[in-house]
Each structure stands twice: as structure tokens, then as C-alpha cells.
Amino acid sequence: MSAPLRVGTRASLLATTQSRWVAHQLGVPVELVEVNTEGDVNRGPLAQIGGTGVFVSALRDALLRDEVDVAVHSLKDLPTAAADGIVCAAIPLREDPRDALVARNGLTLGELPPRSTIGTGSPRRTAQLNALGLGLTVLPIRGNVDTRLGKVASGEVDAVVLARAGLSRLGLLGEVTEMLDPLQMLPAPGQGALAVECRADVPHLVEQVALTLDDLATRSAVEAERSLLATFEAGCSAPVGALGEVVDGDDGVELWLRAVVVHPSGYPLIRQSATGRLDDAFGVGRDLAHQMLADGADSIVKEPVT
């Protein structure tokens, strides 16, 4: 009998739930191997403890040391630069990428009174909330999903904004008081998607994972989002929102990419969109980023995040 496939995962409930889903889809005996990352043990603001890669590096190290066979990540946590010796074998079908509001008394964003407090650890969400001009007070918070929801239940904050995908995977959609339309708040590049990484020197496993789990439409959409982020030379803590979608165009199926760059204060704000071919997802993201940089996005993206 062959040894079970070792699936590396962060130890949080959301991470292990996502990894168990991946393991189930693979259809082979598996063993979850929990790995503590810098982002799990250090509760400081993400931008101050390194931002990009803080939830990823330890899992990749375990992969390269042959302590795990595959590593499962939330794709939005992955650095845009490739990692030596590692390949992203699969990006499974994406969950709904939108952000979700969980507020006291079932309130929506527009129903929250001025000076209401909203908790989030994301500079992207903070900037877009400020851009709405609703007079809300955004407070920085960290912690797992239950911790953040508990801050609303205890009255520490009036509301929190979380990724809908995580709430869905944990069976907590009943807590949502409003789904935030991308016209109000574009999600983080890669939000709602997972990434399954393998060592490049195990090609049969890479092929097996890809054939079982990879979703072409999802991969194209997030490749465009991440190409835009890479062209900005910005990390996961930058105030950048992006959403790629596969849609029916005049000439058939095409890729539609929307993006926003917002100063932490909410102004200035640059919002643009572009379309292109599915097989040129990287180019669609790169070209849109260059258009936005020409309109002044560079000064916003490079603004220090505190």
C-alpha cells in the first residue's frame, strides 16, 4: 500500500477546510500536515511584518524539504514572482470572489450611521471604504474568521468586511448582512481562488494534480489579475483591487478585467477596465496596469502603507 499524499496547509480552520476540500477532490489517501507561517504567529499589521509571502514561505520551504508533497494556499496570499523549484500545478474552480459585510443588527453598508466602526486588516478594503465617502471609521484588525466575527458580536466594532469565499467554505454565509458589489469594492487579485503547488521535479504529481483540479477559466482570470499586480510591482498588502471574468464578447468568449488603485485616504482613485483573449491573460493584466500607471497609479501604489 502506497503512503498517503502529504498535503501541507496552514493550521487555521479556514486553511484546513480548504486543504481538506482539495484532498477530497484528488481522490487519493492523504495526510494533512499543518505548518505555522510567519503570518500566523506574528499578529502585527501585514504591511509591517512583510506583507507578501508571510502566509506562504514556510509552506514552500516544507515543500522543498520534501516534508509535504503538495501545498495548498489562498491564491491572494501568493507572491506574483515564481518560486524556484516549485510549480503551481492547479488553480481549482473559484469561489465567489466578492467581499462581504457582517454588521450588527443586520445592517447594510449604506444603513450604518456615520462614524460607525468597520474592522479590516486590508489596506485595499480600507482605501475603498474611505473612497465611498460614508463617514465610516475603519479600524485595523487581524485574526481568524471567528475572531473577526466575534468583534461584531461583542460590540467592539459595528461591522467587519471579509471574503465571501472564506465564509462560504466555513458554512457561515448566514452571518453576511450584505454582499458588496464589485462596483463598490473590487476584491483582491486572486481572492476566492486556491493554488495547489508541487515541486517541479515530481512531474507525474504535477500532471495528476493539474488534470484533477485545474480550471482554465479561473486560471485565466487570476493570471490577468496577478499580472496587473506584478506590473505595479505591488504586493498583497497594496491598495489594489482587481477582478477578471470570462464573458461572452462580440467575437466569442473573452476576458474582462476591472481594476482599481486607491490612496489609503480614499482619494485619489484610478479605476479602469480592459478586455482581451483568454490565451493572453498575462498581456491583458500587464497592458491595463501600464494604462493605469500612465494615469498616475504609480504614486498611489508606492505610497507607504502604515
> Does the pLDDT value for residue 45 go beyond 80?
no
229 within domain boundaries: yes
Q: What are phi and psi of 76, to 5 degrees?
A: -65, -20
Q: Which three cell numbers stand for residue 109?
A: 453598508
Q: Which residues are catalytic?
A: 77
CATH of the domain at 80: 3.40.190.10
Task: Report the predicted TM-score, pTM, of the whole model to 2 decimal places.
Answer: 0.92
User: Over the stretch 250-273, which tens digit does the pLDDT of each residue have?
Assistant: 888 999 999 999 999 999 999 999
> What interhelical angle do 13-26 and 145-153 show, nearest 10?
140
Write the pLDDT tens digit of every residue in 100-123: 999 999 999 999 999 999 999 999
> In the predicted model, is pLDDT for residue 55 greater than 70?
yes
- Contacts for 51 with CB less than 8 Å, ≥ 6 apart: 235, 236, 237, 305
Q: What is the DSSP string of 271-297?
A: EEEEEE-GGGHHHHHHHHHHHHHHTTH
Task: Provide the pLDDT for residue 304.
Answer: 62
Specify if 232 maps to a domain. yes
Within a 13 Å sphere around the CA of 223, how many CA atoms are in the beta-carbon half?
22
Report the chain's mean pLDDT, rounded to a whole number: 92
Residues 48 and 197 in one domain: yes
Contact in structure between 284 and 224 (CB atoms under 8 Å): yes
Mean pLDDT of 57-68: 96
| Cell numbers at 260, concatenated | 482599481
Report the domain count for the chain.
3
Q: Coil, strand or helix: which one is 1?
A: coil
Nearest to 83 by CA among 93, 92, 73: 73
| The C-alpha cell that represents 266 in the structure block | 480614499
CA distance 64 to 78: 16
Residue 292: CB atoms within 10 A of its CB come to 24
pLDDT at res. 42 = 44
Let me know whether 138 and 272 are in one domain. Answer: no
Assess if residue 185 is contained within a domain.
no
Distance between CA atoms of residues 282 and 170, nearest Å: 32
Residue-wise pLDDT for 223-236, tens only, equals 999 999 999 987 77
Predicted confidence at residue 48, as pLDDT, reads: 45
* Whether 238 and 163 share a structural domain: no
Q: Give the pLDDT confidence score for residue 38 in this predicted structure.
A: 66
CB 101 within 8 A of CB 176: yes
Cα–Cα distance measured from residue 69 to residue 260, given in angstroms and rounded to the nearest whole number: 37
In the predicted model, is pLDDT for residue 237 greater than 90?
no
In a domain, 306, yes or no: no
Domain limits for position 144: 99-179
CA distance 3 to 15: 23
